[in-house]
Structure 1
Amino acid sequence: MLLSLSKGRYAARLAATPDDLHAAQALRGRSFRGGAAAERCDADDFDAICEHVLVEELASGRLVCCFRLMPLESGAQIGRSYSAQYYNLSALAGYPGRMVEMGRFCIDPEVHDPDILRVAWGAMTRFVDAGRVEMLFGCSSFTGTDWERYADAFAVLAERHLAPRRWLPRVKAPKVVRYARALLGRKGDPKLAMLRMPPLLRTYLVMGGWVSDHAVVDEDLGTLHVFTGLEIGAIPPARARALRMVAG
């Protein structure tokens, strides 16, 4: 599938060469592993079966954002996904429409420009529309493994954004935080919650996305992540129009 999008200072495209993939893996290494491992690429077996989207600064060619996409014909293929390693997704196995898993989303930690996220979502919108995708899903990660640091964020997720029961992921990973149970009845501070949530997750939520009722402790990456789903048909019309304006 072809994908090319240029907006303002940035352009998005699909990786086309081994060097493109290596650049994405290097950015992921800096973003996810950092510290002493900053020069270490982040790579796994899923890279070979995914499409990789690169967002680059037009003037310099610098890679500022990347993510990977795994298209699935329906929920019957969801066992192939990265997320299925960590969540029991049997509830989604009967989903009839096309799906795409978005993973390893990262923005260069040295670059702070909200237009990068807009261009990334514009590219995603093109991909979704071209493939007639009906559900987008993946893992949204919080930095660190101390879940209480994000108690307000998890309280708001539990109160307002849990997955519909028919799609709710079940526990599979050996180490999880059952935050919806632990914070039952707690009212999180919405402003603090939004500040503590990763930008990708905030974007999912404003479009009508939902999350699992537990977070997985990923000790390899040093993160907490929640399964996140978004039914394309449920995106509010005004949000859908705004996305397509960027993608147009």
Structure 2
Amino acid sequence: MRDIPSPTLPIAELSHAATQANRQTAPPRARLLVQWARHEDEVREAQRLRYEVFVNEMGARLNPPQGAPAAHDIDAFDPFCEHLLVRAIEPGERSGPVIGTYRVLTPTAARRAGGLYSETEFDLTRLRGLREQMVELGRSCVHPAHRSGGAIMLLWGALAEFMHRNRLDTMVGCASISMRDGGHYAASLWQQLSQTHMAGIEHQVRPRLPLPVDELRQDLAAEPPPLIKGYLRCGAKVLGAPAWDPDFNTADLPLLMRIADLPERYRRHFIDPS
């Protein structure tokens, strides 16, 4: 397997249409720019945003490494990952705060890290045949003032460009579902998606700490969260039953998306806009 080079630093401006949609929540005439983190201080900005969303907003309980700065979401996989950022730029300014982020673990980096973050929650044995061309996506979040769609579309566009440029074909990750209702919504959503979006048996995985779905309601009309709905529209498949993450108080659904399964309209938008 060839080594994956560090990403170049593509910077894209938000389209006029997305800007119009974002005006209700973003500062007037703010531009959104996407870029890869180049220095540790930029990674720290992403980690502060993650802390704001996961801890202050969602109530997660973190176990940071010893010596980690306060009010940052940091784990052992961060040093091995590439970090994708979206900034909101005010008129007349050259930079602005990070308002959206993803982290990406490449196959080469995963070997250096000793595995994937997802493997702490799932037995991924059946994915071993995909690993040489598979990246893990994780820790995605967007500031609540910028959740109208523009930021996530920029992130996805940069991710697609990264996959295409490095000849990678598969993305895997855990999509989190809130358990503030005790898990009934998550169990019902799993029941629905297991009937419509399951991967083939050859790629199905098992949770290490399963959500106890048999003890929960599974008959609620559960609309997928926007991020999961977006993944499914792009051809993602559910790999198995959700795991329970007690620290984040979420049910984590294992998802896999292959570039070959991307619908043509999204392929044209993200990979071949010409």
TM-score (norm 1): 0.85
Find the counterpart in structure 2 of residue 103 from structure 1: 138
Q: Secondary structure at the match of 1:80?
A: coil
CA distance 1:78–1:46, change in 2 (3 Å): closer
Whole-angstrom distance in 2 between the partners of 1:100 and 1:209: 14
Whole-angstrom distance in 1 between the partners of 2:113 and 2:194: 24
Whole-angstrom distance in 2 between the partners of 1:114 and 1:50: 24
Are the equivalent residues in 2 in contact too, given 1:152–1:193 (CA < 8 A)?
Answer: no
Whole-angstrom distance in 2 between the partners of 1:234 and 1:72: 20
Whole-angstrom distance in 1 between the partners of 2:131 and 2:109: 5
CA distance 1:37–1:201, change in 2 (3 Å): closer
Counterpart of 1:51 in structure 2: which amino acid? Answer: E
Pairwise CA distance, 1:204: 1.1
Counterpart of 2:228 in structure 1: which amino acid? Answer: L
Q: Which runs of 5 or more structure 2 residues have no equivalent in the other structure?
A: 1-6, 15-30, 62-69
Sequence identity (%) = 25
Which 10-residue stretch deviates more, 113-122 or 46-55?
113-122
Whole-angstrom distance in 2 between the partners of 1:212 and 1:77: 25
Are the equivalent residues in 2 in contact too, given 1:55–1:65 (CA < 8 A)?
Answer: yes
Find the counterpart in structure 1 of residue 38 from structure 2: 16
Find the counterpart in structure 2 of residue 112 from structure 1: 147
Which of 95, 106, 110 is the aligned partner of 1:71? 106
Which of 163, 171, 176 is the aligned partner of 1:128? 163
Are the equivalent residues in 2 in contact too, given 1:76–1:93 (CA < 8 A)?
Answer: no
Pairwise CA distance, 1:112: 2.8
Whole-angstrom distance in 1 between the partners of 2:72 and 2:110: 31
Q: Which runs of 5 or more structure 1 residues have no equivalent in the other structure?
A: none
Which of 10, 27, 52 is the aligned partner of 1:4? 10
Which of 256, 260, 264 is the aligned partner of 1:233? 260
Which of 57, 70, 78 is the aligned partner of 1:47? 78
Pairwise CA distance, 1:37: 7.9
Whole-angstrom distance in 1 between the partners of 2:212 and 2:112: 26
Check if 1:213 corresponds to 2:240.
Answer: yes
Whole-angstrom distance in 1 between the partners of 2:89 and 2:132: 36
Whole-angstrom distance in 2 between the partners of 1:164 and 1:116: 32
Counting matched residue pairs gives 238
Q: Secondary structure at the match of 1:34?
A: helix
Find the counterpart in structure 1 of residue 128 from structure 2: 93
Whole-angstrom distance in 1 between the partners of 2:148 and 2:97: 14
Are the equivalent residues in 1 in contact too, given 2:80–2:110 (CA < 8 A)?
Answer: no
Are the equivalent residues in 1 in contact too, given 2:107–2:131 (CA < 8 A)?
Answer: no
Whole-angstrom distance in 2 between the partners of 1:57 and 1:75: 31
CA distance 1:76–1:69, change in 2 (3 Å): closer
Q: Secondary structure at the match of 1:141?
A: strand
Are the equivalent residues in 2 in contact too, given 1:209–1:231 (CA < 8 A)?
Answer: yes
Are the equivalent residues in 1 in contact too, given 2:80–2:113 (CA < 8 A)?
Answer: no
Q: Secondary structure at the match of 1:95?
A: helix
RMSD, aligned α-carbons:
2.9
Say which one has the larger Rg: 2
Which 10-residue stretch deviates more, 133-142 or 28-37?
28-37
Q: Secondary structure at the match of 2:145?
A: coil
Find the counterpart in structure 1 of residue 51 from structure 2: 29
Whole-angstrom distance in 2 between the partners of 1:205 and 1:188: 19
Pairwise CA distance, 1:222: 1.8
Which of 199, 213, 229 is the aligned partner of 1:202? 229
Counterpart of 1:124 in structure 2: which amino acid? Answer: L
Pairwise CA distance, 1:143: 2.1
Counterpart of 1:149 in structure 2: which amino acid? Answer: Y
TM-score (norm 2): 0.77
- Once the two structures are superposed, residues 30-64 of structure 1 have per-residue CA deviations (whole angstroms, 9 ceiling, x without a partner) of 11111588972110010000000011112261211
Which 10-residue stretch deviates more, 55-64 or 16-25?
55-64
Which of 158, 172, 178 is the aligned partner of 1:143? 178
Find the counterpart in structure 2 of residue 62 from structure 1: 97
Are the equivalent residues in 2 in contact too, given 1:161–1:210 (CA < 8 A)?
Answer: yes
